[in-house]
Amino acid sequence: MAELYLVEFKGSRKEYFFNTYYHSLKPSEYVIIQAERGEDLGVLSKKIEITVDFEETAKPRSILRPASDEDMHHLKELRQRECQNESEVIEMIARHRLEMKVVDVEWQFDGNKMTVFFTADHRVDFRELVKDLAARYKTRIELRQIGVRDEARRIGGIGICGLEQCCNAFISEFTPISTQHAREQDLPLNPSKISGNCGRLLCCLRYEADLYGKCKAQFPPVGSRVKSQAGEGVIERIDVFNEEAVIRVDEAVMVRAAAEDIIGVEPARPAAPMPAAGAEIADVETEEELKKLDDSERLN
């Protein structure tokens, strides 16, 4: 069976392709692939070593050949052309008085299609615009409305962690996220610290959510009065990384206890947990901002 590769295109778009013609290929090499209509160019992201089951309608197309020096020169010219065309498309949108923001313009390698990626608050009737674009560029035109997360992915950038955005590095699909994930992980409830470059909640808030939930489920709720081998007091917080409850015995004494060391629980009215280092206590205005973040996630 032909080898399966993951090929990456402009804007961090990734698709699977078979090495149907058994070319000698290596990661990070540019290749010409079979597109839906014609040919396109991408870079080999990685070879897939596991068996992947595809639906018949989604069966990967073929890698036609490694890219030549001439192909790479054409790609460079194409990228320069895209920058120029983006400015032209923006001017045409302004003439049509359409409320849409152009994010990127991408030509298929063989010139058979030009795709305009844009964001907008509402659905846009761009039928007349498409006619004008097709008349000007003499090719098939596709206008694709994307969300702000996809916009950040196409633009690229560095996250607040100092690393490449996750959506550019390895995320293939965006999963639902809410501010509850930040609360469960005792993170600062500061919108600027839990939002990414896209203005939405950080994708990484989801990564350890299951770990926190599983660990905290082993302990009584924060605010409960417990008896443990280390002493009796009220649970202030759960140290997930060490899998211990931090218990306040009195005003100046804190002890730690594993789940199996807690020998008695006396439910009490939950007390407000001590904020984690660097955390801010959310005020009314901040809570409104957090609610807006949750609402924007549900709408998209």
**pTM for this structure?**
0.80
- 155 in a structural domain: no
More confident of the two residues 293 and 72? 72
Q: Is 29 among the domain residues?
A: yes
Q: What's the domain count of the chain? A: 2
* Strand extents, DSSP E, 93-145: 101-107, 113-119, 140-145
Residue 35 lies in a domain: yes
At 48-105, the pLDDT tens digits run: 998 888 887 789 999 999 999 999 999 999 999 999 999 999 999 999 999 999 999 9
Residue 91 lies in a domain: yes
47 in a domain, yes or no?
Answer: yes
DSSP, res 261: G
In this structure, the answer to whether residues 82 and 140 fall within a common structural domain is yes
Question: What is the 8-class DSSP label of residue 260?
Answer: G
Position with higher pLDDT, 294 vs 14: 14
What residues does 164 pair with on adjacent strands? 158
The domain containing residue 94 runs over which residues? 73-146
pLDDT (mean) for 38-53: 93
Asked which of 86, 111, 146 is the last residue of a domain, the reply is: 146
* Domain-embedded: residue 135: yes
The model's confidence at residue 278, banded by pLDDT at 50, 70 and 90, is very low
Give the model's confidence band at 277: pLDDT under 50 very low, under 70 low, under 90 confident, else very high: very low
Residues 60 and 79 in one domain: no
**pLDDT for 271 beyond 80:** no
Among 48, 67, 86, where does a domain finish?
Answer: 67
Side-chain half-sphere CA neighbours of 216 within 13 A: 17
The number of residues in the chain equals 300
Does residue 217 lie in a domain region?
Answer: no
Q: Is residue 119 part of a domain?
A: yes
